[in-house]
């Protein structure tokens, strides 16, 4: 694993929070000649909505004096290797391809290059966070205390990099409500980092399957298949199925069905969703298939199940 060195995270409280992802080496963003290597830090000016994605390709002579920015930022090392120093001093934190360093607004820091890197930056204003107290608290949680090295499995890496690409695409596009989309992607990146489990050895197949299980629980409404799950874990179908059953007590399809139907039942129980809406929101595009599975799971078709619960609620209230 490239990334943090021996002194990965024996850092003081003012140091940045570091998460390590394996970079997708074939993603040669910026190396088409459209972005020239720089010898000093690029200038980033935040737009009115408070979020900016930027790219910085360091040339061999890159130099950066110690600085502090008026905004928070994430520094994602797409390629290469950097050293990261803060005002607290000491040896630089070494970060290679796939590392994400979180830097708070006003924190003095300096980057040095061990191997000329390509860096992707997500910069956002304190005001962007203050609009949502929960998001602001999430950022404080990410950057508070002594950080820990997180080594997510394949699902976390795919999720993180996909969000980053979406942010860059939205910023560069001309779609309606582009600013709203950029802010939403930035918030989702912070959520993805916060949800990345700590201390998971990515080399262990069981840990990768556990990571897929957690991702499935959070995104069961997406277009999941056993093939997708196996690709996420990076292991064979037979091995994945064995480990998944050991961890959950169910097959992959059984677990997916249970998550979707339980969610659909919750939506119908609230009384604010139609049967079609509950099925769609739970990941089902075929209503007849949803009806069949719902009857198998709950013993009744959705309409009868709703009416029975409604009648029971009326009798209880009377």
pLDDT digits (tens, 9 = 90+) for 90-133: 566 788 777 788 889 998 889 999 899 988 899 999 999 999 99
Q: How far apart are CA 178 and CA 184, in angstroms?
A: 10
Q: How far apart are CA 159 and CA 113, in angstroms?
A: 27
Residues with Cβ within 8 Å of 109's Cβ and at least 6 positions away in sequence, in order, are 16, 66, 67, 68, 84, 85, 86, 87, 103
Which uninterrupted H or E stretch holds 116?
Answer: strand 109-124
In eight-state DSSP terms, residue 197 is P
Q: Tell me how far CA of residue 122 lies from CA of 173, 183, 194, in angstroms.
A: 17, 11, 16
CATH 3.30.530.20 fits 17-193, yes or no: no
Q: What's the pLDDT score for residue 285?
A: 92
The partner residues of 51 in beta bridges, in order of sequence, read 124
Tell me if residue 164 falls in helix, strand or coil: helix
- If phi > 0 it is left, if psi is from -120 to 50 it is alpha, else beta; for residue 283 that is left
Residue 155 pLDDT greater than 70, yes or no: no
Task: Give the distance from CA 180 to its chain's centroid.
Answer: 18
Counting Cα atoms < 13 Å in the Cβ hemisphere of 108 gives: 5
Which of the four pLDDT bands, split at 50, 70 and 90, describes residue 27? Answer: very low
Q: What's the pLDDT score for residue 35?
A: 58
Which of the four pLDDT bands, split at 50, 70 and 90, describes residue 150? Answer: very low
Q: Which of 34-48, 141-155, 225-239, 266-280 has the lowest mean pLDDT?
A: 141-155
Average pLDDT over residues 161-181: 89
Report residue 19 as tokens.
């998460």
Q: What percent of the chain has pLDDT over 90?
A: 46
198 vs 79, higher pLDDT = 79
Q: How far apart are CA 45 and CA 288, in angstroms?
A: 52
pLDDT digits (tens, 9 = 90+) for 30-70: 333 445 788 888 889 999 999 999 888 999 889 999 989 99
Tell me if residue 56 falls in helix, strand or coil: strand
Residues with Cβ within 8 Å of 205's Cβ and at least 6 positions away in sequence, in order, are 233, 235, 239, 243
Q: What's the pLDDT score for residue 142?
A: 81
Q: What's the pLDDT score for residue 151?
A: 43
Which of the four pLDDT bands, split at 50, 70 and 90, describes residue 290? Answer: very high
Are 295 and 301 in contact, with CB atoms under 8 Å apart?
yes
Residue 28 pLDDT greater than 70, yes or no: no
Residue 199 pLDDT greater than 50, yes or no: no
Which of the four pLDDT bands, split at 50, 70 and 90, describes residue 147? Answer: very low
> 230 exposed, middle or buried (CB, 10 Å; 0-12, 13-18, 19+)?
buried
Q: How far apart are CA 175 and CA 171, in angstroms?
A: 9
CATH 1.10.10.60 fits 254-317, yes or no: yes
CA end-to-end span of the chain: 64
Q: What's the pLDDT score for residue 128?
A: 96
Task: Give the distance from CA 265 to its chain's centroid.
Answer: 27
Q: What's the pLDDT score for residue 298?
A: 96
Q: Which of 11-15, 70-74, 243-247 has the lowest mean pLDDT?
A: 11-15
Task: Give the distance from CA 35 to its chain's centroid.
Answer: 26
Averaged confidence pLDDT in the chain = 80
Of 83, 103, 107, the closest CA to residue 93 belongs to 83
Say how many C-beta atoms besides its own lie within 10 A of residue 66's C-beta.
Answer: 11
Residue 284 pLDDT greater than 50, yes or no: yes
In eight-state DSSP terms, residue 43 is P
Q: How far apart are CA 306 and CA 275, in angstroms?
A: 10
Q: What's the pLDDT score for residue 257?
A: 97
Does the predicted model carry a pTM greater than 0.75? no
Q: How far apart are CA 210 and CA 233, in angstroms?
A: 9
């Amino acid at each position: 694993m490239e990334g943090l060195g021996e002194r990965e995270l024996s850092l003081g409280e003012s140091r940045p929070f570091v998460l390590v992802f394996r970079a997708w080496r074939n993603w040669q963003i910026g190396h088409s000649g459209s972005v020239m290597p720089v010898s000093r830090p690029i200038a980033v000016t935040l737009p009115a909505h408070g979020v900016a994605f930027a790219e910085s390709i360091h040339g061999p002579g890159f130099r950066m004096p110690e600085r502090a920015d008026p905004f928070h930022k994430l520094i994602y090392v797409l390629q290469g290797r950097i050293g990261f120093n803060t005002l607290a001093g000491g040896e630089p934190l070494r970060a290679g391809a796939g590392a994400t360093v979180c830097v708070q607004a006003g924190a003095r820091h300096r980057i040095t290059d061990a191997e000329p890197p390509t860096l992707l930056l997500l910069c956002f204003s304190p005001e962007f966070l203050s609009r949502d107290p929960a998001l602001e608290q999430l950022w404080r949680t990410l950057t508070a205390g002594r950080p820990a090295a997180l080594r997510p499995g394949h699902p976390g890496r795919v999720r993180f990099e996909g969000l980053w690409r979406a942010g860059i695409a939205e910023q560069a596009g001309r779609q309606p409500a582009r600013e709203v989309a950029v802010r939403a992607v930035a918030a989702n990146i912070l959520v993805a980092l916060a949800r990345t489990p700590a201390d998971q050895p990515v080399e262990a197949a069981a840990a990768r399957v556990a990571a897929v299980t957690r991702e499935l629980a959070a995104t069961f409404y997406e277009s999941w298949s056993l093939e997708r799950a196996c690709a996420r874990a990076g292991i064979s179908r037979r091995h994945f199925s064995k480990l998944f059953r050991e961890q959950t007590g169910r097959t992959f399809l059984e677990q997916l069905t249970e998550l979707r139907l339980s969610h659909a039942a919750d939506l119908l129980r609230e009384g604010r969703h139609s049967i079609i809406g509950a099925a769609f929101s739970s990941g089902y595009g075929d209503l007849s298939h949803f009806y069949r599975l719902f009857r198998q799971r709950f013993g009744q078709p959705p309409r009868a199940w709703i009416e029975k619960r409604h009648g029971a609620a009326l009798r209880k209230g009377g």
